[in-house]
Amino acid sequence: MKLVSLGLLLFFSSSAFSQKKDFSIYNLSLPAEIADPNNQFSGLFINNDHLFLLSESRLQDSAEAKLYAIKLADLEHKMIDSSFILPFRKYPICNLELLRSKMKLKGDDYEGLEAIVINENMVYFSVETTTPSDNCYLLKGNINDTAVIVDDNFLIPMPKPVLPDGKHVYNAGFEALALFNKDVYTAFFEYNYFPGQNVVRWLTQWSFKNNGIYHPLSIDKLPFRITDITTTNKKIFTALNFFYKGSGKDEIYRVAAGDRNESFIKDSSGYRNYCRLVEVKYRNAKFKWKSIWEFPKEYSGYNWEGIASYKKGYFIINDKYTPEKPYKTFLLYLKPR
């Protein structure tokens, strides 16, 4: 078992960022099938005493559409006994190819599943589309003992916000879904650093019956990217806030020179990868946020795409990319100290 103890809290220079938590990191080795980087995991969710792992299901790459589940009791066992091999179940996701074709007819190109919420036996997925596509989508399915059957008549368009020049943000979709209560769903866009107002989509059953009409709620500007989010309390969430130092089109996620957030992602040697946890709180009809923990350097370069709250800590998973090759899927548990 690999255990990394983080003994010191780091404090940011700006009053907007305050480190309040500390975690021990458990690296939970996965069975070979799940550790395969081609799964490209993009979301986590806990339901019915299981941790569900969402594969991005890149149909355009001939990937299998699927969802995995691991019992929480087995994950607890793994934290104690590193030699324990985790049992798991696989749920094929059915009808996804048909819905992909429907998106294409609307002029939008499917890229992958990006977020998941499970509410009793109903499963909701957000779909990211290619950058030129005008809409992302929300899907709904029913999970049974053997598979997820996606409703091929439920296809809710979620128009992408655009930059001031009218262009879409590169490689950005609704990467995070959260259950606000039993019938309210919040969809967070990946990029939340637009000039002016940034919004979260508030969706209800009424929204679903009215072609996705939603109530917009403002969120304070948040630099870098939200790659996933988890509910931690009635009106409190924890999000993965990730910056990839890449060049080219990825430069859209860089902040302007002199921005107070620049010091987190740039030093004398240039740009560096960066990741932290931020607490997002709903208060007075808007979402506010604060930084609560910064990933240690050895884990900051992983493209963390899934988070699920558990016992005041968090399970997190990367999609594929790691600082070193060969790529591999890593599941961590951040245990509060």
In a domain, 8, yes or no: no
Q: Which tokens is 123 given?
A: 């499963």
Alpha helices by DSSP H, listed for the chain, are 32-35, 72-80, 96-105, 205-209, 262-265
Nearest partner of 217 among 188, 241, 174, judged by Cα: 188
Sign of the CA dihedral with 214 first, then 215, 221, and 222 last: negative
Nearest partner of 232 among 174, 282, 300, 189, judged by Cα: 282
In a domain, 7, yes or no: no
Residue with tokens 């606000």: 180
Per-residue pLDDT of the chain (337 residues; tens, 9 = 90+): 434 333 333 333 333 445 578 999 999 999 999 999 999 999 999 999 999 999 999 999 999 999 999 999 999 999 999 999 999 999 999 999 999 999 999 999 999 999 999 998 999 999 999 999 999 999 999 999 999 999 999 999 999 999 999 999 999 999 999 988 777 899 999 999 999 899 999 998 888 888 778 889 999 999 999 999 999 988 999 999 999 999 999 999 999 999 999 999 999 999 999 999 999 999 998 999 999 999 999 999 999 999 999 999 999 999 999 999 999 999 999 999 9
Question: What residues are paired with 281 via a beta bridge?
Answer: 236, 288
Q: What pLDDT does 19 receive?
A: 56
DSSP state of 274: E
In a domain, 256, yes or no: yes
In a domain, 286, yes or no: yes
In a domain, 262, yes or no: yes
Residue with tokens 């992408």: 160
71 by Cβ neighbours in 10 Å (0-12 / 13-18 / 19+) ranks as middle
Q: How many structural domains compose the chain? A: 1
In a domain, 6, yes or no: no
Residue type, 150: V
What is the span of the domain harbouring residue 17?
A: 13-336
Q: What pLDDT does 305 receive?
A: 97
What CATH number does residue 280 fall under?
Answer: 2.120.10
Nearest partner of 90 among 33, 44, 29, 46, judged by Cα: 33
